Copies of this chain bind each other. A is one copy, B any other.
Amino acid sequence: MLNRVRSAVAHLVSSGGPPSQRPKSPDLPNASSTPPAASETPKSPPARPGSVVGLPQKTAETRASFSRPTFLQLSPGGLRRADDHAGRAVQSPPDTGRRLPWSTGYAEVINAGKSRHNEDQACCEVVYVESRRSGTGTSREPTQKQGLCFYYWGLFDGHAGGGAAEMASRLLHRHIREQLKDLAEILQDPLPPPLCLPSTPGTPGFSDPSHLVSPQSCWSPQKEVTHESLVVGAIENAFQLMDEQMARERRGHQVEGGCCALVVVYLLGKMYVANAGDSRAIIIRNGEIIPMSREFTPETERQRLQLLGFLKPELLGSEFTHLEFPRRVQPKELGQRMLYRDQNMTGWAYKKIELEDLRFPLVCGEGKKARVMATIGVTRGLGDHNLKVCSSTLPIKPFLSCFPEVRVYDLTQYEHCPDDVLVLGTDGLWDVTSDCEVAATVDKVLSAHEPNDPSRYTALAQALVLGARGIPRDRGWRLPNNKLGSGDDISVFVIPLGGPGSYS
């Protein structure tokens, strides 16, 4: 993520001094190591709603200085080439090895030097969910179906270090699995989900089946809750539990920095696209573009941030004002009238400048330069628990949300052809590539490959990454139109909507 955490803003906020945020070497399990055993599954705090109890807390171990996704199967030499800012070789899973699940295409490239290593991470897995409630405690017909599977894709764009992105790439899908364990039977039952369940078997307060509350016994009006909304809730809680785990483990294991997270879960016929940050997902279906996410930035979340600053002014310290101004207010302008916006406004109006308007605005800047507290350019994601305002002890985390927006796409509602794809990309792609340009590349590359060519989706991912990176020319990476390409890390998944293995 290019310049997303601005570490040299001292002149804006105070008198200067070294930035307090610096990438540190994360101290986490190596992503290329053996998958953790059951005892390494994520720990949830016992008192949290929807959380899972009884799992051990330790998940970290010492690791090498950096890593890339295991599915790239990089040798030590390959790892060095992937880490080379000068060459910026595009990386994809080897043709010879086991393909990614669901015929997924993937490609990535390291940044042009803005951080020491590639701070993007990726994960693509098929995850089996064992039911935790096997046959106990419902008034329904006993069912033979117990576990279920989901397909999972995750892109994690790190900032201020690679630790959070790496940790999320190894653990977030396990948090999702833990959340789904309670729901495995319910999701496979055609009846509407029960609104109330007995307490967990074996824990104090467990009531026998005669205490079960069936929907019919309610005296008050009740809402219908869909299976789909249970999966959405499970993903939302998994993001929060992942973030809480980072908070717990950050001291012992130096999980420094934070990351945007864009995750897709395929479960029972539906794609759940969960986004927290400024990565983006779009579907290209029969040439049509269907947005599957929106970006969360200081600009798009201005009113949420300002409202929080207004309701909790202590979070602003004495340094910031929750009001937005179109430019910095200068002391000599006291008493004049300047344009401003508060948490309730989308338009602008003039106000008389008072002393506290001279404070730095909570939200400032435009486009890629927009910042919260002059520091960070994304407002949702995981981690960032140590992030402070430069030369200050003021924490920024209270303004950041770990919750994704989840959009659902029902794969069964449309007959998809082999050229219909879901494209996920970090902002390195989208900074220099429009949705329409991606759609044009999809058309160009896929029509040049046979529909049953298993390499076509990887070729498409590579073309997208190459098109955003450009080629070295005139002392920079440049696109065919001679504009600068993206100097950021770039990572792309291409998921064919025809289903797992349909066209390979």
Contact = CB atoms under 8 A, between A and B. Distances in A.
B406 A366 contact: no
A159 interface: no
B344 A403 contact: yes
Contact of A336 (B204, B207, B351): B207
Interface string A211-236: 10100001111111100111111111
Contacts of A333: 196, 213
B193 A347 contact: no
Contacts of A403: 344-345
A352 interface: yes
Interface in A300-317: 307-308, 311-312
A205 interface: yes
A444 interface: no
Contacts of A223: 326-327, 366
Contacts of A341: 233
Contacts of A350: 50, 182, 197
A221 B337 contact: no
A286 interface: no
A348 B233 CA distance: 5
A427 to B, nearest CB: 20
A349 B225 contact: no
A365 B221 contact: yes
Given A220-B328, A224-B326, 15 more contacts: A49-B342, A50-B340, A193-B348, A195-B326, A195-B327, A205-B335, A207-B336, A221-B327, A225-B339, A229-B348, A234-B347, A235-B347, A236-B345, A240-B344, A311-B312
Give the 4 A-B residue pairs with the shortest CB-CB distance, closest first. Answer: A232-B347, A233-B347, A49-B351, A205-B335
Interface of A: 49-50, 179, 182, 193, 195-200, 204-207, 211, 213, 218-225, 228-237, 240, 307-308, 311-312, 325-328, 330, 332-342, 344-353, 365-366, 369, 401, 403, 405-406
20 contacts: A49-B340, A49-B342, A49-B352, A182-B350, A195-B326, A195-B327, A196-B336, A197-B338, A200-B352, A204-B335, A211-B332, A220-B327, A221-B327, A229-B347, A233-B347, A233-B349, A236-B344, A308-B311, A344-B401, A347-B406
